[in-house]
Amino acid sequence: MSLSDLSHPPPSPPATAVPAPLWAPLKITEFRKLYGALFITMVGGWMNGIGCSWLMTSLDSSAIMLGLVQASFMLPGIFLSLPAGVLADKTDRRRLILILSVVMMAVSINLAVMAYVGWIGPWSLLAHTLAMGSIFALQSPAMLSVIQDLVRRDLLPQALTLNSISLNVGRSIGPVIAGVLISSFGAAAAFFVNSIGYAALASVFVGRRKPDLRQHARETFMTALLNGLRFAFTEKRFRGMLIRLLLFLTCGSALLTLMPLVAKDMLGGGPGTFGTLVTWVGIGAVIAAFGRGRLASRITPEIHVHISVVIATLSYVGLSFAENLSQACMAAFFYGLAWTNATITYQVATQLSLPNTMRGRGASLFIMTFGAGMMFGGLIWGFVADLAGMKIALISAGIGTLILNVLTAGFSLRYAEPPSDS
């Protein structure tokens, strides 16, 4: 199978009680090529995120400005993800991903040059993160759709778990490399490596044959967009999943926003300390992704999330009382376990609830919700940290995560066959 066969995914085999091995999607040649390129991109992306966050602490130490780094990256997802989903459903996904990868590479190189020569300031940094967030928002629905096109439905949980493993191995490796490079050469080095990652991703899609898009010709762009919104509002199960995800992220993402200040203000460290904390989050995340594959068929999605929320709450409280880097890394490790198990569960549940013709738009609605939760969380907890202090912000976010999970427990995460395409 090739990336050009995007409208004809392979059929699923008869249902079986034994799930396929985690590595089964890697037997598909085109998925394996894409997976390798995505891994390089994710390492560079995490390095870029570390570089932006740490650079902002040197330009403006306010927790609110730090929260704006995350918010500016996530904000475009709220407004662009659904139109991007329509593009993913109606246009050549290969060409879309290729063009956007080249543009992201150019933005990263520009940021690297500006940081290197000292022309960057807080607001110009935010302008770059906003641009990167816009490109990411436009590209992500197409990427998730391509992953679904390359694997059978019964292999989708494994493919998404592998994608999360790649993301979190990148989270483990990227910050360590970024810490060394930033300490030695400045943030510009991290931004340059990010451009290399997107060059690798672009190379996967060069020269691929254009897919047959005639089945999408009946819908105009606006009709397709409105149909996506209609799906989100009328499909009760899917809507409930998105509401539950949004509220989980609003509090559950606080540590990702505040971690640079945890490293700098609570632990008195530098970029190396920040990178170490993020690495331990990544290690916990990778272990969670591997372990989840063994547990997925034994416990329900709801139980996955409930366990994750309890662990996340304890991690927040533990980190707020951490007196040294070792204790903070232990809390970060368990946070990584909880965060990844919960987010993979939400992603698998939503993606398996989508009909084939709604893949891009459904993926965009998930990304839009994810971006909104991360953005709101970054702004809220940055403000709380400035107002009440880091310890209060961390404890409050942990308790909030627990309370919101209880309030939204009535929204089912069990997935069944998606609605008909007709």
Tokens of 171: 């989270």
Summarised one tens digit per residue, pLDDT across range 25-61 is 999 989 999 999 999 999 999 899 989 998 998 998 7
* pLDDT at res. 8: 44
In 3-state terms, what secondary structure has residue 412? coil
* pLDDT at res. 2: 42
Measured CA to CA, the distance from residue 91 to residue 105 in angstroms comes to: 22
* pLDDT at res. 3: 43
* pLDDT at res. 234: 86
Amino acid at 89: D
Measured CA to CA, the distance from residue 210 to residue 366 in angstroms comes to: 26
SS3 content of the chain, % helix, strand, coil (to 5): 80, 0, 20
Q: Topology of domain 25-206+218-407, per CATH?
A: Growth Hormone; Chain: A; (1.20.1250)
Measured CA to CA, the distance from residue 205 to residue 42 in angstroms comes to: 17
In contact, 56 and 69? CB cutoff 8 Å: yes
In contact, 50 and 278? CB cutoff 8 Å: yes
In contact, 418 and 293? CB cutoff 8 Å: no
In contact, 171 and 278? CB cutoff 8 Å: yes
* pLDDT at res. 34: 93
Q: What is the dihedral of CA 129, 134, 136, 139, to 10 degrees?
A: -160
Global model pTM greater than 0.85? no
In contact, 137 and 367? CB cutoff 8 Å: yes
Domain boundaries, the chain: 25-206+218-407
> What is the number of residues in the chain?
422
Listed in sequence order, the DSSP H helices in 235-356 are: 236-252, 254-261, 271-295, 301-320, 325-351
Measured CA to CA, the distance from residue 142 to residue 327 in angstroms comes to: 40
In contact, 135 and 104? CB cutoff 8 Å: yes
- For 50-118, what is the HEC assignment? HHHHHHHHHHCCCHHHHHHHHHHHHHHHHHHHHHHHHHHHHCCHHHHHHHHHHHHHHHHHHHHHHHHHC
CA atoms within 13 A on the CB side of 238: 25
Summarised one tens digit per residue, pLDDT across range 181-237 is 998 999 999 999 999 999 999 999 886 655 555 555 567 888 888 888 888 888 888
* pLDDT at res. 356: 73
Transcribe 330-362 into DSSP letters.
HHHHHHHHHHHHHHHHHHHHHHTT--GGGHHHH
Pick out the chain residues at pLDDT < 70.
1-19, 207-218, 293, 296-297, 415-422
User: Which residues neighbour 302 within 8 Å (Cβ) at sequence distance 6 or greater?
Assistant: 409, 412, 413, 414
* pLDDT at res. 165: 82
* pLDDT at res. 18: 61
Summarised one tens digit per residue, pLDDT across range 96-119 is 999 999 999 999 999 999 999 999
